[in-house]
Amino acid sequence: MKMVEMKVDASELKGDEKKLIEKLADFLKEKTGGDVTTASEVVTVKGEGEGLSKKYVRITLKKFLHKYELTESFRVIGNEENTLKIKQRKLEEED
């Protein structure tokens, strides 16, 4: 198995929870079993196997957003290869 590295750009991630990015890193470590490092607002997951496919990491990020009730404010988008971004949703203005 080859080593895979996935980056998560969490620069837009904001919420009531303190240390949300730290919690995200812990959540990814627990769910993927990978080696997780955080550099400012980018969380990097390194490891081998299925737990690090882009699809699995994307699903894990969605579960994280759901856990902290952030799904209405944020979504996960594919950025570049091996990079996912947690993007703030544009709130539709209501009349």
Tens of pLDDT along the chain (95 residues) come to 678 899 999 999 987 666 899 999 999 999 999 999 999 899 999 998 776 888 999 999 999 999 999 999 999 999 888 999 999 998 765 55
pLDDT of the residue at 1:
66
Angle at 4 between CA 79 and CA 45, to 5 degrees: 70
pLDDT of the residue at 22:
93
**Domains delineated in the chain:** 4-88 (3.30.1360.210)
Please give the model's pTM, rounded to 2 decimal places. Answer: 0.87
Q: With contact defined as beta carbons under 8 Å apart, do 6 and 82 qualify?
A: yes
Long-range contacts of 66-70 (CB under 8 A, 24+ apart): 67/27, 68/15, 68/17, 68/20, 68/23, 70/13, 70/15
pLDDT of the residue at 95:
54
pLDDT of the residue at 80:
85
Q: Which two tokens stand for residue 65?
A: 């957003």
